[in-house]
């Protein structure tokens, strides 16, 4: 599946209405990535990085331009189809990781698999394997509150990969971590990415993370340089 991973973004623009007029946040952004490729998006605060990531994650739609993921235009889908598409094709790793506090580590990793009904036994096997890969085999029954920040981020990475998505979107994945932990999480994310052939796009202020990805583009005034 991942061998066919493809992301094509053409001329995407997005504006927000403000009291005075409209604010153009993205201005003709284009991108073309295939399986195994990785891209760091850098840029000052307010330059539109999160807006772009939300559009790529199909959580928000562009005003103009098009997005194709694995050959499909997700914005042509019905809301229900879109939710299923997002769940199958896209994994999210956000800075504040959004783990559910009442669920154990393995239950959190299985959340995306739950959207399809009861998780299949192969989902459990895959979740266990991923938790092993991120070094948390002995923590699968723990609650998020019993983990460190770096460990929680590793749970979020395992959760993002459990559905074998084509695309992983990370918004400041190491932003809340100390330097050493951040480096370890970066290394882990990249080794899992190269193993699985998933496309990785990370928004980051970290030069270490940006340098570790294959490509680096800067967002400035809504344009991707
Ligand atoms: P970044 O992630 O690069 O810091 P964002 O994509 O979050 O930037 O925001 C880009 C600009 O769009 C900012 O000026 C922000 O205030 C504005 N913005 C973001 N979301 C909205 C919204 N829902 N309504 C109005 N303005 C928004
Ligand atoms: Mg942001």
- Per-domain residue ranges for the chain? 6-224
* Band (1; pLDDT cuts 50, 70, 90): very low
CA of 49 relative to ligand 2 center, distance in Å: 5
More confident site: 130 or 94: 130
Question: Closest ligand to 46 CA?
Answer: 1
**What value does the mean pLDDT take over residues 14-22?**
87
The per-residue pLDDT for range 62-71, each reduced to its tens digit, is 999 999 999 9
The neighbour count for residue 144, using CB atoms within 10 Å, is 19
The per-residue pLDDT for range 106-123, each reduced to its tens digit, is 999 999 888 767 777 888
**What value does the mean pLDDT take over residues 204-215?**
90
**For tokens 């050959």, what's the residue?**
71
Q: How many Å from the N-terminal Cα to the C-terminal Cα in the chain?
A: 31
More confident site: 153 or 32: 32
Q: Which of 173, 186, 110, 185 is nearest to 141 (CA)?
A: 110
Is 16 touching ligand 1 by the criterion CB < 6 Å?
Answer: yes
The per-residue pLDDT for range 145-185, each reduced to its tens digit, is 999 888 898 899 999 999 889 999 999 888 877 888 788 88
pLDDT value at residue 199 = 95
Measured CA distances, 63 to 57, 132, 160 (Å): 15, 42, 27
CA of 16 relative to ligand 1 center, distance in Å: 8
Q: Which CATH number fits domain 6-224: 3.90.226.10, 3.30.450.20, 3.30.565.10, 3.40.50.300?
A: 3.40.50.300
* Band (2; pLDDT cuts 50, 70, 90): very low
Q: Which of 20, 22, 16 is nearest to 62 (CA)?
A: 16
Measured in whole angstroms, the distance separating CA 18 from the mean position of its chain's CA atoms is 28
pTM of this structure: 0.90
pLDDT above 70 as % of the chain = 96
Q: Is the pLDDT reported for residue 40 higher than 90?
A: yes
51 Cα nearest atom in ligand 1:
6
| 64-85 residues labelled b (16+ CB within 10 A) or e (exposed) | ebebebbeeebeeeeeeebeeb
């Amino acid at each position: 599946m991942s061998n066919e991973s493809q992301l094509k973004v053409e001329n995407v623009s997005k504006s927000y209405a403000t009291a005075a007029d409209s604010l153009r946040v993205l201005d003709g952004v284009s991108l073309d990535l295939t399986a195994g490729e990785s891209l760091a998006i850098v840029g000052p605060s307010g330059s539109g990085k999160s807006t772009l990531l939300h559009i790529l994650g199909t959580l928000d739609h562009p005003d103009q331009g098009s997005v194709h993921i694995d050959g499909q235009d997700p914005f042509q889908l019905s809301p229900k189809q879109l939710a299923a598409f997002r769940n199958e094709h896209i994994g999210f790793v956000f800075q504040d990781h959004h783990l559910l506090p009442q669920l154990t580590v393995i239950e959190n990793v299985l959340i995306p698999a739950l959207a399809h009904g009861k998780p299949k036994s192969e989902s459990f096997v895959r979740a266990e394997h991923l938790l092993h890969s991120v070094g948390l085999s002995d923590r699968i029954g723990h609650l998020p509150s019993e983990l460190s920040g770096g460990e929680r981020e590793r749970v979020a990475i395992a959760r993002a990969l459990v559905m074998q998505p084509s695309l992983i979107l990370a918004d400041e994945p190491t932003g809340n971590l100390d330097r050493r932990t951040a480096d370890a999480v970066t290394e882990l994310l990249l080794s899992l990415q190269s193993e699985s052939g998933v496309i990785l796009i990370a928004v980051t202020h970290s030069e270490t993370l940006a340098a570790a990805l294959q490509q680096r583009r800067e967002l400035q005034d809504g344009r991707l340089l």
